[in-house]
Amino acid sequence: MKFPHALRTLCWIAFTAVGPLAGNAAPPSDPGPMTPQPAAAAAEGTWVIGVVADNRGGTGTHLAILKKFKEANVDLIINLGDMLYPGPDGDWESMAKQYHDVFGEQANDWLARKMFVTVGGWEEEFINQHQKTKDAEGKEETEKQKKARKRRPGYEPDNAAGQEVYQRYLHYKKRAGKPGEFIREYTDLGDYYVKYRNLHLLSLYITDEWSVVKRKYHDRDDPEWRAKAIERQTVWLKNKLHAIRTAEPNAPIFVMAHRGTWHREGGALTGIVQALADEHVDVALCGDGHVYSYTKDPWTLKLMAPGAFSDGGDGYFLVRMTPSTGKIATDKITVEHYRFTGELKHTHVKFAGKPMETPEPIPAAKHEGK
């Protein structure tokens, strides 16, 4: 989505408030299912995932969040897309510099092995933006011309462009299945599967306009091809989830994608939504909406991450994974929503492979696009 932040925030809050089941999708002001308490010392064996979304390059908020991740001693970082931006400081180098500023000598290990991204529409537009560096007379661009060019976005959706981000900066396809790598599988559509400790993480290529298959967005766009691609994604996800859940009934399973309403019912993603329910996925993560929100069904906690692209932005998640012990039969998953300042706002608890303790129905919502 490309609307101004304030307008998008109002739109999302209004969207989740419509209909008789509006209370099931909590807007940012909702107190959440639990009263937040100061973060306790990590239980023995607990490890932590940092989750950020919509940072759009090297923003001040993103830098503040990386510092919080370092303080929390996170093991993995998940970025839910719109990580890059075709504008000043929106490139990979600006964002990577912040990793080096915060993590120092360990930055390359984060960027090359322990950060997992699911791309959004801005990554597609970043790759597709005008790449000209010389004017009509062959002269090098001035700084003013460069800035003007960077403000002109490209186009989306474009699966090839999104995958170019994966290959150019993250090398997912090349890394998949190699010794010492956490990425086990990478598909031709840019979906991939990660195994870290006993966590199974599946990333789906669902950018801003990917699943709006009744609209042609630009001359090179092929909605019919996208519809068939989603069918293939659905089969891949169902098969992968079923194999995991059959082999490890109590293993924690996360699914992530960028698009903000991908986890709702209806539209081209109906089969994917059903797969989450059928195989008892524990946590489904997405970005794109720029505000914290959640829904719950009997088995799955579905979370939209807050944005991180403006100074003073909303925040981030810390996901604490506590392994099963003699006292608990399955892994305990604790999701904490923080403001970018480090203020704890909401907490959710889920036990891997088990139903939610207080299930809520999912409000029907058809994906209508922008």
Residue 2 lies in a domain: no
Question: What is the mean predicted confidence (pLDDT) over 205-211?
Answer: 95
pTM of the shown model: 0.81
Q: Which of 217-231, 258-272, 331-345 has the lowest mean pLDDT?
A: 258-272
Q: What tens digit of pLDDT does each residue of 235-251 get?
A: 999 999 999 999 999 99
Query: Domain residues for 179?
Result: 46-132+141-351
Which pLDDT belongs to residue 144? 72
Residue 286 lies in a domain: yes
Q: What tens digit of pLDDT does each residue of 133-192 get?
A: 444 455 666 777 666 555 555 789 999 999 999 999 999 999 999 999 999 999 999 999
Which pLDDT belongs to residue 148? 58
Which pLDDT belongs to residue 130? 59
Residue 28 lies in a domain: no
Q: What tens digit of pLDDT does each residue of 341-370 get?
A: 899 999 999 999 999 875 444 443 333 333
Residue 40 lies in a domain: no
Residue 39 lies in a domain: no
Residue 305 lies in a domain: yes
Higher pLDDT, 37 or 270: 270
Q: What whole-number percentage of the chain has pLDDT above 70?
A: 76
Mean pLDDT of the chain: 82
Which pLDDT belongs to residue 129? 82
Residue whose C-alpha is closest to residue 29's, from 250, 241, 306, 227: 306
CATH number of the domain at 154, please: 3.60.21.10
The answer to whether the bond into 153 is cis (omega within 30° of 0) is no
Higher pLDDT, 9 or 329: 329
Q: What tens digit of pLDDT does each residue of 26-77 get?
A: 333 333 333 344 344 445 699 999 999 999 999 899 999 999 999 999 999 9
Question: What is the mean predicted confidence (pLDDT) over 246-273?
Answer: 87
Higher pLDDT, 24 or 80: 80
Q: Label residue 87 by pLDDT band (50, 70, 90).
A: confident
Residue 235 lies in a domain: yes
Residue 231 lies in a domain: yes
Q: Label residue 289 by pLDDT band (50, 70, 90).
A: confident
**Total domains present in the chain:** 1
Question: What is the mean predicted confidence (pLDDT) over 78-88?
Answer: 92
Question: What is the mean predicted confidence (pLDDT) over 113-129?
Answer: 94
pLDDT of 83 strictly over 70: yes
